[in-house]
Amino acid sequence: MQGQDLTIGFEAETFCPKQDLYLSPIARIDISIKLPKFTIPGQSISNWDLMERLKKGIAPLEFASIRVTESSLEGVSLEADLVSKKIMRQVMKILDSLTVKVSGFSDPVRVRATEARCDFPRRHDWDLFFMKNKLDESKPGERPDTVYLEKIPIKWFAEKGCDKPNEHLFRTAMETFGKVRLVDIPSLDDLRKEMSPQISGIKPKAFSFGQDVFFEAFVQYTEYAGFAQAMVSFQNMKWTKKIDGKVFHANVKVDFDRTRHLSDSSVKRRQAEREKILAERRRLVEEEKRRIAEEEAKARRILEEKEKRREERERKRKEKYEAERLRKEQERLRREEEERLAREAELAKLRELETRVAESRHLLTSVFAHIQRKEDRRKEVQEARIRAEQRVVELQDVPLEDKEHVLRTMLLRQRELRMREELKEKMARALEQLTRSANGSEKKHETGSPNGAANSSSDSSPESESSPERIRRKKRHSTTSERTRSRIEKHKSTVTKSRSKRHDTSDSDDERPRKRRSKNSSSSDSDREHRRHRRHDSSESDHRSSTRSRHRREHKKNKKRRRSK
């Protein structure tokens, strides 16, 4: 297809004025150039150089197109198209008298130009074809009624913005020669590519680069006259179209249908093949849908299984967590119950100990009150005697030496009384201190046991505080309380004995005659000194024993504190 800024020309015939389609005669010449013999081995010529020299030789005229058809050592054959017959004749006259200088040869070569022969089919050709094949001329498609056209430009019959030809526009153009029965453009049917070439109407192509520019079509006329007129009109003609002020030419190949493409049998075969392809496509679509559905079902099944496994794991985890929580709760309740029972036992022991201590205090208070009353009576009697003796001594007329001795004896007796008072106060303080220490140990044990239980419960398991430890603690506590009670009883007995001895001694001393007392003053003084020293030693021994017992108790408390820590 060529475009030139020229007019249609007077040689053009009308094809379809509505679509600016015309038929122009084919002006084609064959050019032959005979080459001399090659004298140099490996010598070559350039076909491009030859075409350029020919173009310069016919200037100012121009070739519409020129191409090399054959090239050999003897010569080169070319084919050239021209715009019109008139220009063709002028070019032929110029080329017949033209000599061309070829590079590599000393002598110029001559050029010969002749009009090209066209292989367009004639009436004799199709009559002979249908006669030889013995077809039924009464059936459409099996008689000379179908025109086959090839290399038709798509853009000439395509709507704006579309890249495929419009069957209606093409049918309108072909109805110029007669009534059209059928028009078939194979490229408009996407299923034709999947059919065999025998029934699809599409000729196989050796090369296909991108989108097609041309299309092929089958046109079946209702009457033979339309077919014959079309064949005669297209004979040795090229199609011409004006687009935007430019003239375009297309060498459309025209032939009669040799394949019975639009016969009823071929149409049915194509329809059956179409149904088969559509059924196969539907089957493939159904298989694809089924495959997708199976894959989706499989994916859903896998997801459901994963969800079930996840739920099972979650359920087991919750059950395990709940069992662990219940176990810990039961353990906590058991531990709290044990702690409560232990606290109740400790409180019962403490209450029992407090009761015993209160009873001991009451007993000691009553005993000490009795002793105090007895001692007060004895002191009053002793003081009364001393005062009586003093009065007697003062009234008696005794010698100075005896008087001094009597006074000394009285002073010693008063001193002895004071020492007794001091000793009694010391004993009362010691007894009070022992009672306080016993109460303090009980309180510490009472306040320390819950802390110890809490520490043991927080630091270790409930089994860490074993029953043997509580038994040992009970034994130590009972031993300490027994020792305290024994010491108190021993101390009371010692004090009672010493006081009874002193009272007996004082009574015996009072009952002695005054004269004998004055005579044996030296011996009585020595006895008193001896008894005083003995009482002092006994008080010191009691003090030491009480100190040792206090140290022993403090040592046990510290040891118990370390154990609890």
> What gap in Å lies between CA 330 and CA 464, rounded to an integer?
17
Q: In this predicted model, which residue has the larger pLDDT, 331 or 368?
A: 331
φ, ψ dihedrals at 37, nearest 5°: -70, 145
Containing H/E element for 430? Answer: helix 400-459
Look at the block and give the residue holding tokens 């419009």. Answer: 166
Q: For 122-136, 199-213, 484-498, which range has the lowest pLDDT when averaged over its residues? A: 484-498
Closest by CA position to 103, among listed 171, 53, 158, 155? 53
**For residue 396, what is the DSSP state?**
S
> Any idea how long the chain is?
565
Task: Kindly state the average pLDDT of the residues 22-38.
Answer: 82
Whole-structure pTM over 0.75, yes or no?
no
Structural contact between residues 20 and 7, judged by C-beta atoms closer than 8 angstroms: no
Is the confidence at residue 13, as pLDDT, over 60?
Answer: yes
φ, ψ dihedrals at 83, nearest 5°: -70, -40
160 pLDDT band, cuts 50/70/90, is confident
Q: What is the DSSP string of 292-317?
A: HHHHHHHHHHHHHHHHHHHHHHHHHH
510 pLDDT band, cuts 50/70/90, is very low
Highest mean pLDDT among 34-43, 201-210, 364-373: 364-373
Share of the chain above pLDDT 90, in %: 16
304 pLDDT band, cuts 50/70/90, is very high
Q: In this predicted model, which residue has the larger pLDDT, 51 or 472?
A: 51
- What lies within 8 Å, CB to CB, of 219 at 6+ separation is 146, 147, 149, 171, 174, 180, 182, 183, 230
∠85-86-91 over CA atoms, to 5°?
Answer: 95
- Largest alpha-carbon pair distance within the chain? 211
pLDDT value of position 96: 81
pLDDT value of position 523: 45
Same fold, 27-115 and 123-262: yes
Is the confidence at residue 164, as pLDDT, over 80?
Answer: yes
Q: In this predicted model, which residue has the larger pLDDT, 500 or 461?
A: 500
pLDDT digits (tens, 9 = 90+) for 247-266: 888 888 899 888 888 888 88
Highest mean pLDDT among 46-60, 194-208, 299-313, 458-472: 299-313
Q: Distances in Å between the alpha carbon of 359 and those of 362, 365, 433?
A: 5, 10, 17
> What gap in Å lies between CA 525 and CA 413, rounded to an integer?
10
Share of the chain above pLDDT 70, in %: 73
Structural contact between residues 399 and 511, judged by C-beta atoms closer than 8 angstroms: no
Structure tokens that stand for 437 in this block: 């220490």
User: 239 in helix, strand or coil?
Assistant: strand
Look at the block and give the residue holding tokens 């000490």. Answer: 368
C-alpha 389 chain-centroid distance: 114
Structural contact between residues 147 and 219, judged by C-beta atoms closer than 8 angstroms: yes
C-alpha 483 chain-centroid distance: 74
Task: Kindly state the average pLDDT of the residues 137-143.
Answer: 81
pLDDT value of position 251: 86
Structural contact between residues 165 and 172, judged by C-beta atoms closer than 8 angstroms: no
Structural contact between residues 171 and 212, judged by C-beta atoms closer than 8 angstroms: no
Q: For 2-16, 42-56, 174-188, which range has the lowest pLDDT when averaged over its residues? A: 2-16
pLDDT value of position 48: 85
Q: In this predicted model, which residue has the larger pLDDT, 438 or 417?
A: 417
Domain positions in the chain are 27-115, 123-262, 353-564
Closest by CA position to 157, among listed 72, 75, 248, 267? 248
pLDDT value of position 123: 86
Is the confidence at residue 517, as pLDDT, over 50?
Answer: no
Q: In this predicted model, which residue has the larger pLDDT, 505 or 462?
A: 505
Is the confidence at residue 91, as pLDDT, over 80?
Answer: yes
Look at the block and give the residue holding tokens 């108190």. Answer: 488
- What lies within 8 Å, CB to CB, of 414 at 6+ separation is 386
pLDDT value of position 283: 92
Q: In this predicted model, which residue has the larger pLDDT, 213 or 450?
A: 213
- What lies within 8 Å, CB to CB, of 160 at 6+ separation is none
Task: Kindly state the average pLDDT of the residues 40-55.
Answer: 76
> What gap in Å lies between CA 256 and CA 144, rounded to an integer?
7
Q: Identify the CATH number of the domain defined by range 27-115.
A: 3.30.70.330
- The CB-based long-range contact list for 432-437 (8 Å cut-off, 24+ gap) reads 433/546, 433/550, 434/484, 434/487, 434/488, 434/546, 434/549, 434/550, 435/357, 435/360, 435/361, 435/364, 437/550, 437/553
320 pLDDT band, cuts 50/70/90, is very high
Is the confidence at residue 394, as pLDDT, over 80?
Answer: no
**For residue 10, what is the DSSP state?**
T
472 pLDDT band, cuts 50/70/90, is low
Task: Kindly state the average pLDDT of the residues 538-543.
Answer: 58
Highest mean pLDDT among 322-336, 386-400, 492-506: 322-336
Q: Identify the CATH number of the domain defined by range 123-262.
A: 3.30.70.330
Is the confidence at residue 521, as pLDDT, over 50?
Answer: no
pLDDT value of position 426: 82
What integer best gives the mean pLDDT of the chain? 77
Q: In this predicted model, which residue has the larger pLDDT, 550 or 373?
A: 373
pLDDT value of position 540: 59
